[in-house]
Structure 1
Amino acid sequence: MKKLHLWIFIITLFVSMPGYAQQLRVVKGTLVDSAGVPLIGALVKLSTATDSVRAASDINGGFVFNNVKFPQFTITASYIGYDTYKKRIIPDASGKPVIIDTIRLKTSSNSLAEISITSVTPVRVKEDTIEYSAAAYPVRDGDAVEEVIKKLPGVTVDKDGNVMANGKPITKIRVNGKDFFGTDVATAIQNLPADIVKNLQVIDDFGDQAKLTGVKVGEPQKVLNINIQEDKKKGYFGRATGGIGNENRFITNLKGSTFKGDRMLSFDGSMNNTNIRGGGGDGITDTKAAAFSYRNDFNKKLSLDAGYNFNSRDNNAISTIFKQNNYQTFTRYDNQSSNNTNKSMNNQFWSNLEYKIDTANYLKISPDIAFNSTSFNGRGNTVTQIKKTGSVRDNISSNDNATASIGMNVFFNHKFKKHGRNFNISANVNFSDNDNDRDARNDYANTDSLGNITYVKQFQLTAYDTYGKRAGSNMTLTEPLNKYAYADITYNYNSQSTETGRDTRDVDPVTGKEVFNTMLSNNYEYQFVTHRVGINYRYVKPKFNYMMGMNVQPAVLKGQDITRDINTHKETLVWIPSARFVYRFTKQKTLTFNYNGRSNQPTFNQLQPITDNSNLQNTIAGNPDLKPDYTHGFNIDYNQSDWTSGYNMFTNISYSRTNNRIVTTKMMLPDAIKQVTSYVNTNGFYNIRGNYEIAKPFAERKYILTYYGGSAFINNIAFTNMERNVAKNLIIDQGVKFRIFLKDVIDAELNTAYSNNRTNYSLASSAARKTDRYSLSLNGRNYFFKDLSLGYELSQVVNRGFSASNNANPTLLSVFLEQRFLKGKTGNLRFQAFDLLNQNSGISRDVYDNEIVDRQTNRLARYFLLSFSMRVRKFGGGNAGNNNGPDNRR
């Protein structure tokens, strides 16, 4: 019996030992500084001689490790600016959770420059915000914040300074929550130095109402908010640059900002003819620009941000365009060449005045004034061929346009004493006046099927005068139903009125005599008025929230052709549902779903009941019977990040369908080489898109591997010769990027991508089309002897499926050599060689309905430039021109 008990004991011990050896437990604790303030995003590590696990502290300074298998371990906690904490932990054998005593980190006495940035939290994901720590994406001393933005996962910056975040454009830059340089994103990201930035936030902005009440309806705008370090809010910085090169190339730039607490004044002025910042990729552009930005919190109640933007562009573009229009029994080919000069001058003043009247009332007033002028002069030649007929058109045209507008938006919000009850109202008004003068000279040589040639000359002068008024208001009343539920009652009013006068005269090419053209001249007015009433139900909890709503929108569209005494009157009623759902799996994983609808009215040109024959080969007739279209769609976003390593994943899928979509109709008369274009409402248009990006850092973010790509399917509708033609367009993109950053050694990115674009048509006469594009690029800088830098941009593009063109697969190589010198490394001397192989050319393909357009345009070719820049700065008592104290912590 004793032996039996002994065997039972041995077997039980044998079975339980592995379970005890693999005992899983919970380890948790809290991190604070010496004053007891929680430390957010600190790095906490549990390690043994052979293994380790990591976590980051949350918003309360807490950290937790689940399923820890170590029987004993060493805990390490680190945070930038603090001494590292380290302690050996030997838990008891009970398996109960291990509660670490509150860890208090002491401020480091060592130089900040020696502290590792491994404790920095690179990425945080919130409901509508992705926040990036600037310290986690270090750049070269003296770089602008643009260089930091280029490194952010999911964010791209093109050569013109346009910023895209998760596939959508950034429409505004803000500094500490206030608008910075208005909508001039390129100027804003070039103006701020990187080393004064604390963090950057990509925000889905639903407007002022959402900020104050949480009511989020409609489609958000992508906004990038840049927060400045507290110790950099007193001081100034500035940079001046000048350079000259061969081919009469030059650049000049002066920028700077001053800070004093919440007051900030910034200036950016530049002149260049190197297609930098606003010059665009096509043609050769001479650019002059200036921008001012001012912001100040006068007191706790009153604040102002305002600015002025000026831009002048002089562009010369030489292009060739090859078009194919597919019809049931024939194909029309157009081969065009043109030499065009475009000049523009834009002036804009904007402002936001915020007044926090008291704790219950808030007022915001936002005026906007703009004046823009453009002039165009062009010369072109078009060769058209259809079966055995053909035409040659030589044209000379010019156009002068001036537009002035003034508008204002007022927003008021009131919070009632009952928690959650809220009322807000906004009103906007805008007036615009546009004057346009155009002259066009066309010489036609038409060849019929028998080879007979007919010559036609045409010379027309046209003057437009358009006056527009737009007014609208929006009201929302929010009523709490219980602790988590709310009801929103909304009303929206919008009115748009346009008055247009058009005077067209035919000019005799020989005598110069002008004859009034009654067919192309008229006075026309139209008004579009909508009322939208809706109710939303919202449910808000920490883990998730959702909103469901229904809106009804009656609309009235009226038009009057005063010259011909023709009246148009259309009334529509649409029901517009809306929905939003947000679920936070964890603080690092968020799923968002949005559904909404919108209605759009036809444009004036589409409604105008006249036939425009200024181009005899393509006359355009308006349709006064057009109805407004209605689009409804949804999108789903999923964000996931690792706050410790900086791993980030973003995926998105969206779908939209448009009813009563306004599409073009084309009637072709092949014997006359003449196309008649008009407009009609139709159904069947929809598209679905999806994209993703996964960024995986390695070795404390010294290396980042990014996979990105997406696809889109577009079902488009067109009518050719009264036949409905469905174009099914499929686009597939895939790319891989690898970035490397080794301090004072290299900062570079290798990017390779593939794109496939194919279109199939429902009409048998329209042949399927397919293009492929492969691209490879290498951009970066290498550093030598601390102050010498070698920069390079290398790209290779291979195009397949385009029409024959010169240099369809360019290899572009640009390099620069830069030396820093003077006290504090404030001087930079740069020698730049642009497009060393002299292959810069732009080609593209667009598919519109039954039309395929291959385009090639001249671009700035090889040049050399020598430039010098100098910067000055002083923050928090530092000396001008030097980077003292905290500036060097990265």
Structure 2
Amino acid sequence: MKKKLLIIFVLTISCFSYSQKVTLTGFVKDSLQNPLPYANVISKPKDVSKNLQFAITDNEGYYKLILQKGDTITISISYLGYKPLDYEFVALKDTKKDFILQQASEQLDEVIIEMPVTVRGDTTTYKTSKFIDGSERKLKNVLKKLPGVEVDKNGGVTVQGKKVTKMLVDGKKFFGGNSKLAVENIPADAVGNVEVIDNYNEVSFLKGLSDSDEMAMNIKLKEDKKRFIFGDIEAGKGNKDFYKASANLFYYSPKTNVNFIGNINNIGEKTFTFSDYLSFSGGVNAIFNGNFSRKGGDFSQFMQSNDMLSSQHKFGALNITKVATKKLDVSGYAIFSNSETASLIENLNEYTTFSEKRTNTTNADNLLGIGNLNLEYNPNSKEKWYARSQVKRTNNTNNNSLISLIDGNTNTINTDRDLTATYINQNIEWHKRQNDKHTFSSVFNYVFDKSDKTTFWDTQDPILQGLIPADNSQALLRIHQLKNTQEQNIDAVFKHFWEINNSNHIYTTLGNKFLNEDFFTEDVQILDDNSVNNFANGGFGNDINFKLNDLFLGVHYKFRTGIFTLKQGVYAHNYAWQTNQSPTIDKNKWVVLPDFLAKIEFNKSKQITINYNLKTSFSDASKFANRFYLQSYNSVFRGNENIENNLYHSARIYYSRFSLYRGLMLFTSLNYNKQIRGVRSTVDFNDINQFLTVKMFEFPSEDWRGNIHLEKSIHKFKYKFDVGFNNSKYIQEVNNNIQNNTNNNYDYELGIETLFDDFPTIEIGFKQAIGNFTASTNTSKFITTEPFVTIDYNFLENFIFNFDYRKSNYQNKTLGQKNTYEIANATLSYKNENSAWSYKIMAQNLLNAKFKQSNSFSDYLISDTKTFILPRIVMLSIGYNL
């Protein structure tokens, strides 16, 4: 009832507010009737006490102004290279008015300065002072007020529907180009103009040659911040023993930039997440995309979620950029992250013939460090060198106590895991623009990746009976495992770009990739007298060296005609691999992989992309290892030395449409993958115990994935619609029987958001996810329904209120289970514009929910999961702006 009253109230305010407004719409074109995108349309009220209003035409030249009814207004239209035009307008009723601009021989400087948005080629510049009001705290608050720019809750930035992939500050990468660290931490009062660079490549003469379609955002600092230390610090104390402290410090000068971000808290707030980790995994220039698989070491599994019983997190990051000489830039960053967490998870696992209730209690201490050094050398405008070095190091401990209940029988297993991993990446790039026709690029890449894992299991009850040669007469069953991997990659790629003319290019690629991987396992039992029962006599223990060499040649032809860009070509790969174990196997084969790309660009805001690839991949050494090793307390795995490469079709069609003043944003995508030949796991069950191995199957899987995202603004409301599906079919072998499985997931989200100037921004939405999993003839169905509300309100000039609420209704239709939980968070902050001090009250998990519930599918089981979370936290924070 309360939600209905809120909606009625919002609608009433909307009707009243909108009745006092007049809409002026139309098109801005040149004398040949061609639309002028990004033209500035400015309304200047005759009453100088009233504010200016701005509009920027979209790609069709369309504009829309919302004006105060009864005002007398001068409409000024300006566009680079054209004579400005003024039009007198009395706002009495909604009006449509088109404008025709005439080309000018000169463009006056004062007109350029007045423009809030200018476009030069692929670069769009926002004059931020025309859009902000001084209430903004961080860069994200500034960006949200720029037309066509959106910032999501995870710190991702999109401009006219396209994702920003690189974040720059005064032309230099900010922490490797990470957008989240920038939008969440750069103070708003340091931000000058904002540049958006489409089709970005850090090597300017390679722009147009790559198909990465990247977009960069460059934050220009205000002049008084060009040689200045600025930033902010914050400290907070909450109920019980909860605390938080953070610091964001920045120093900028013409030749030296230093950025520091630090955070320490025990409220489950993670400055550094798994998605952030991926953005710091290093890499090479976008023109080598497709020639390298991004692999960043064995770290991801230790990036814990925020859903913990307790959490202590420490984070520090330092970024330095130095202009050493006119030709040499040096930059680097160091990142440190440490989290100590405790978690409690309850699972109800449905296997093929039985059920298991499982309780997991885990204490983890995860330490991660990343160091990066980049050298950028520009001997002249047509040549560029890069030397990049990255080192990552992690040291993690994980102590787990698991209670498993099956058919009234309880088993308790304690597991202690330790992992130490080191990852080193070194690459050297060279790019040369020989002349207008020929450009050359090459890269040499070296990777060293080592991980050492130690695992201890102990239990008073027998486990893995019949699968491990354990002595079950002992008072306590204690199993110790070593699992070590060491991988070295040496890769070299050379590319030649032949630009026959502006519309026809031929690309040639020659490369070689070499992998050398060692995989070692040892499983033993520690007996009561501390002697060792080695499982090697029972077929356990691996010591394999796996080598894979990939020599490849690719030729591609790219041409443009009108709105079409087509690229087609083929890679020929010679794969040679060797497994050094007993027996030793040497194999060699040729694989031809065609690919196709088509882009139909109607304009910058409307395009279709179609691509197809025949792809292949190889398993790692652990899948080739032909002796047993323990995967967990209830599973034993053995690889298969006879497996070969996977081969599969991959196709995608993507359509995007954006119109700023029609308030329309539409994205649709459809993906299809079909394995021609693939490696899949097989399993034999003995109650909960599992023996797994891998086999090659013909046509083992096929899946379709699709998504539609639609946003439409009407008057002062934005309507959102999202729908997605994932339909997959695959075969698996269970207990020597082949069964066909299907996994059909559907989800949709509906939302409405208010867009009033002097009224809270309120979003009300509804989300539902439906999962259907069929294994053989057994079908399971899950439904999760989530209504949600978010409120953002700036009031009394200095106050900001944020609130979000989500109610999750979870149903397991198969078992008749239902569960509901509610999560709500609220923040009230205050900062006087003329003061450096700020104050904030935060309430996290306001309704004191105990856990979250979800479900998951795998090849062998269906799992309902309860994840227990932090209790209600109320915290007062005080901040200071330097």
TM range (shorter): 0.7 to 0.9
1:245 Cα deviation from its structure 2 partner: 1.1
Residue 268 (structure 1) aligned to one of 252, 261, 277:
261
Which residue of 486, 489, 492 maps to 2:508?
489
Matched residue SS, 2:497: strand
**Secondary structure of 1:602 counterpart:** coil
- 2:10 aligns to what? none
SS of residue in 2 equivalent to 1:774: strand
CA contact (8 A) 1:266 1:292 kept: yes
Matched, 1:778 2:803: no
Change (3 A) 1:156 1:663: farther
Instruction: Output one character per residue of 1:43-82: Cα deviation in whole Å (capped at 9) or x when no partner.
Output: 389xxxxxxxx995689xx9699xxxxxxxx994346999
Max Rg structure:
1
Inter-partner Cα distance in structure 1 for 2:324 and 2:657: 39
Q: Which moved more, 1:100-109 or 1:684-693?
A: 100-109
Note closer, same or farther for the CA distance 1:536–1:783 as it changes in structure 2 (3 Å cut). closer
1:435 aligns with 452
Q: Is the 8 A contact 1:422 1:479 kept in 2?
A: yes
Q: Structure 2: how far apart are the matches of 1:150 and 1:774?
A: 29
Is 1:367 aligned to residue 389 of structure 2?
yes
Q: Does residue 829 of structure 2 align to residue 818 of structure 1?
A: yes
> What is aligned with 2:139?
145
SS in 1 for 2:551: strand
Gaps of 5+ in 2: 1-25, 44-53, 64-72, 90-98, 273-303, 466-471
Aligned with 1:189: secondary structure?
A: helix
2:37 and 2:109 map into 1 onto residues whose CA distance is 11
How many Å separate the matches in 2 of 1:120 and 1:644?
Answer: 16
Amino acid at match of 1:753: K
Inter-partner Cα distance in structure 2 for 1:746 and 1:627: 59
Structure possessing the higher relative contact order (Cα contacts under 8 Å, 6 or more residues apart): 1
Asked if structure 2 preserves the Cα contact closer than 8 Å seen for 1:807 and 1:841, the reply is no
Residues 346 and 370 of structure 1 are in contact (CA less than 8 Å); yes or no, is this contact kept in structure 2?
A: yes
Equivalent pairs: percent with the same residue?
15
Could you tell me which of 531, 534, 557 is aligned with 1:537? Answer: 557
5+ residue gaps, structure 1: 1-23, 32-37, 46-53, 66-73, 90-96, 449-453, 873-890
Q: Of 835, 843, 847, which residue of structure 1 is paired with 2:857?
A: 847
| Corresponding residue for residue 871 of structure 1 | 881
Q: So what's the TM-score if we normalise by structure 1?
A: 0.78
Deviation at 1:343, TM superposition (A): 1.0
After TM superposition, list the pairs within 5 Å mapping 1:693-732 onto structure 2: 693-699=709-715, 703-732=717-746
In structure 2, C-alpha distance between the alignment counterparts of 1:346 and 1:723, rounded to whole Å: 43
For the residue of structure 2 that corresponds to 1:274, the secondary structure is: coil
Instruction: Give CA-to-partner distance per residue, 1:145-179, whole Å, 9 cap, x none.
Output: 344667897966446x5779999998764445543
Match of 1:791 among 786, 797, 802: 802
Give how far 1:130 is off: 10
Q: After superposition, what is the alpha-carbon deviation per residue over 1:733-790, rounded to whole angstroms, capped at 9, x for unaligned? A: 22223333445642343332222222234x22xx212222221222223333222333
Note the C-alpha offset of 1:408. 0.9
Contact 1:197 1:226 in 2 (8 A): no
Give the deviation of 1:537 after TM superposition. Answer: 0.5
User: 1:434-453 counterparts in 2 under 5 A?
Assistant: 434-444=451-461
Measure, in 1, the Cα distance between the counterparts of 2:661 and 2:215: 25
Indicate the residue corresponding to 1:291 in structure 2: 317
* Local SS of the residue matching 2:176: coil
Amino acid at match of 2:246: N
Q: Distance in 1 between matches of 2:811 and 2:852?
A: 14
Aligned with 2:413 (options 391, 395, 402): 395
Letter in 1 for 2:535: N
Give 2:669's aligned amino acid.
N
Aligned to 2:493: 474
Q: Distance in 2 between matches of 1:820 and 1:250?
A: 21
Matches within 5 A, 1:295-310: 295-298=321-324, 301-310=327-336
Q: Deviations over 1:279-313 (max 9, x none)?
A: 73221221100001223445553333321111001
CA distance in 1, matches of 2:144, 2:864: 31
Pairing partner for 2:658 from 613, 636, 641: 641
Cα deviation digits, residues 312-337 of structure 1 (max 9, x gap): 011111111111122xxxx2322211
- Shift in alpha-carbon separation, 1:688–1:163, aligned structure 2, 3 A: farther
Render the CA deviation track for 1:653-708: whole Å, top value 9, x for unaligned.
222223332211111235xx532111112223122222122222355xx6433222
Task: Determine the structure 2 residue equivalent to 1:70.
Answer: none
Stretch of structure 1 that moved more, 369-378 or 626-635: 626-635
1:856 aligns with 2:856: no
Residues 587-606 of structure 1, C-alpha deviations (whole Å, 9 max, x = no match): 33222222234322112322
- Deviation, 1:83, is 13
Q: Aligned with 2:820: secondary structure?
A: coil
Mapped partners of 1:774, 1:335: distance in 2: 25
Q: Which residue in the other structure is 1:515 paired with?
A: 533
Q: What does 1:379-778 align with in structure 2 at a 5 Å threshold?
A: 379-385=401-407, 392-417=410-435, 419-444=436-461, 457-508=476-527, 510-518=528-536, 519-541=539-561, 543-561=563-581, 565-613=582-630, 617-644=634-661, 647-670=664-687, 674-682=689-697, 683-699=699-715, 703-743=717-757, 745-761=759-775, 763-764=776-777, 767-778=778-789
Q: CA deviation at 1:342?
A: 1.4
Greater Cα offset, 163-172 or 427-436: 163-172
Deviation at residue 466 of structure 1 after TM alignment: 2.8
Alpha-carbon distance between aligned partners in 1 of 2:745 and 2:573, rounded to the nearest angstrom: 35
Q: Are the structure 2 counterparts of residues 343 and 687 from structure 1 closer, same or farther at C-alpha, using a change threshold of 3 Å?
A: same
Q: Which amino acid aligns with 1:395?
A: I
Q: Distance in 1 between matches of 2:198 and 2:784?
A: 32
Out of 603-612 and 246-255, give the one that drifted further: 603-612
What CA deviation, in whole Å up to 9, does each residue of 1:254-292 have, x standing for no partner? 102222246432110010011112473221221100001
CA contact (8 A) 2:747 2:767 kept: yes
Task: State TM-score, norm by structure 2.
Answer: 0.79
Q: Secondary structure at the match of 2:705?
A: strand
| Total equivalences in the alignment | 780
SS in 2 for 1:190: helix
**For residues 858 and 161 of structure 2, what CA distance do their matches in structure 1 show?**
22
Per-residue CA deviations over 1:17-61 (Å, capped at 9, x if unaligned) read xxxxxxx99963599xxxxxx99531389xxxxxxxx995689xx
CA shift digits 1:415-467 (9 cap, x unpaired): 223x221111111001233222221113326899xxxxx98852112223432
Aligned-pair CA distance for 1:642: 2.2
Aligned equivalents of 1:443, 1:203: Cα separation in 2: 62
Give the equivalent residue in structure 2 for 1:77: 76
1:868 Cα deviation (Å)?
0.6
Are the equivalent residues in 2 in contact too, given 1:43–1:120 (CA < 8 A)? no
Superposed CA deviations along residues 853-890 of structure 1, whole A, max 9, x for unmatched, are 11111111212111111112xxxxxxxxxxxxxxxxxx
Please state whether the residue corresponding to 2:847 is helix, strand or coil: coil
**Whole-angstrom distance in 2 between the partners of 1:183 and 1:346:** 20
Q: SS state of the match for residue 708, structure 1?
A: strand
- Aligned-partner SS, 2:573: strand
SS at 2:306 equivalent: coil
Change (3 A) 1:795 1:514: same
1:227-272 deviation line (CA, Å, top 9, x unaligned): 3256476144211000111221000001022222464321100100
How much does 1:490 deviate?
A: 0.8
**1:270/1:337 CA distance change after superposition, 3 Å:** same
- Indicate how the Cα distance of structure 1 residues 30 and 316 shifts in structure 2: closer, same or farther if over 3 A, else same: farther
The amino acid that maps onto 2:873 is: Y
Q: Which residue of 2 aligns with 1:87?
A: 87
Q: Please report how far the alpha carbon of residue 630 of structure 1 lies from its aligned counterpart in structure 2 after TM superposition.
A: 2.4
Q: In the alignment, what sits opposite 1:43? A: 41
Q: CA deviation at 1:848?
A: 1.5
Q: What amino acid does structure 1 have at the position aligned with 2:573?
A: Q
**Matched-pair contact (CA < 8 Å) for 2:205–2:433:** no
Corresponding residue number in structure 2 for 1:9:
none
